[in-house]
Amino acid sequence: MTDLSANPPQGDFKGWSSTKTKAHIEASVPIINRWASFGVAVSVTAAELAALAPAAADTDSKVILGGLRTPYAVCCHLAMAAMRSLTRNADIAYFFEFGDGDQGDSAAFTNHIRSHRGMAQQLYGMRSYAILDAADSRLFEMADIYAWEWAKHVERDAAKFPIDEKGETRLRGSLRALLGDNLRKTSGTNIASRIRRGWHVTGPVLERYYARVAQFELLSDRPSSQALNWIEQAVATGELPPL
């Protein structure tokens, strides 16, 4: 999607006009809506997250820190938690495309969660987890297109352009079609429908996320008994990740 949306298009799409690019993105929407049962897009503002994220952890908790300190890791794990909720705790096989620079830390954190019996299922509805080479990920490119459309919307919302008759950022037609019917704005930039979620985690919500990380003493090798009780309760009630 990066190559296709570049100006001008690059890679396999080099030489494409903006008209051709737009037409192909729009043509992908009905295909995605036919074959993708659910969709979640999660975004954060990198600078805001960097200012709030913890910088250090005890020795045996560094693997947890890796899942909390980068936009890639935080978005991955919030997206999986949202998918569990959206699918009503279905068994989900997760596939990630290889390549992000922070993927190693995120994968290590995921495997740490999986090493605790039943926790990955409770938090993410996870049946299995795999990282695929880009060449083997062609059937999963709906995620690329949806993520790109959501990022474009977040950028437009931040710039307050264009604005509709309600004073809100107008959705691109392709994003509206991907989000499905019966859309509702839940808060801020966030949008939900029966089968899709678009979630920009910012402001008090992101602050609360990291406040809960501290409260649960997730980066301590010797958390207090009170913190362990809070974690146990949060896992049991589906309140982890700690938003």
Q: Which of 96, 63, 54 is nearest to 79 (CA)?
A: 96
Query: How high is the pLDDT of residue 242?
Result: 53
Output 222 or 134, whichever has higher pLDDT.
Answer: 222
CA distances from 128 to 15, 94, 96, 240 (A): 40, 6, 11, 19
Place 55 in a pLDDT band, splitting at 50, 70 and 90: very high
Rounded Cα distance between 151 and 134, Å, is 20
Q: Terminus-to-terminus CA distance in the chain, angstroms?
A: 30
Q: Is a pLDDT exceeding 80 seen at residue 241?
A: no
Beta-bridge partners for 198: 41, 191
Contact criterion met (CB below 8 Å) for 234 and 216:
yes
Helix or strand or coil: residue 41?
strand
Confidence of residue 230 (pLDDT cuts 50, 70, 90): confident
pLDDT score recorded for residue 235: 74
Q: What average pLDDT score do residues 59-73 get? A: 95
Rounded to an integer, the average pLDDT of 62-82 is 94
Most confident option among 117-121, 168-172, 180-184, 218-222: 218-222
Across 114-135, average pLDDT: 90
Mean predicted confidence (pLDDT) in 204-219: 93
How high is the mean pLDDT of the chain? 88
What is residue 243's predicted lDDT score, i.e. its pLDDT? 47
**Band of residue 172 on the pLDDT scale cut at 50, 70, 90:** confident
* Token pair in block for residue 225: 């008994």
For the four alpha carbons of 55, 57, 59 and 63, in that order, the dihedral sign comes to: negative
**CA angle, corner 145, sides to 42 and 20, nearest 5?**
150
- Rounded Cα distance between 128 and 114, Å, is 9
How many Cβ atoms from other residues are within 10 Å of residue 110's Cβ?
A: 24
Q: Residues 17-45: what's their mean pLDDT?
A: 90
Cβ neighbours for 205, distance < 8 A, ≥ 6 positions apart? 243
Q: For the purposes of burial, counting CB atoms within 10 Å of the CB of 88, is it exposed (0-12), middle (13-18) or buried (19 or more)?
A: exposed
The candidate with the shortest Cα–Cα distance to 91, out of 101, 80, 78, 104, is 80
| List of long-range contacts for 150-156, beta carbons under 8 Å, 24+ apart | 150/41, 150/43, 150/175, 150/198, 151/41, 151/43, 153/189, 153/198, 154/43, 154/189, 154/200
- pLDDT bucket at 173, cuts 50 / 70 / 90: confident
CA gap 143, 100 in Å, rounded:
15
Higher pLDDT, 50 or 183: 50
Distance of CA 232 to the CA centre of its chain: 24
Model confidence at 200: pLDDT above 70 = yes
Please tell me the distance from the alpha carbon of residue 9 to that of residue 3, in angstroms, as a whole number.
Answer: 6
Residue 159: pLDDT band (50, 70, 90) is confident
pLDDT above 50: residue 109: yes
> Quick one: pLDDT band at residue 142, thresholds 50, 70, 90?
confident
pLDDT at residue 79 in the model = 94
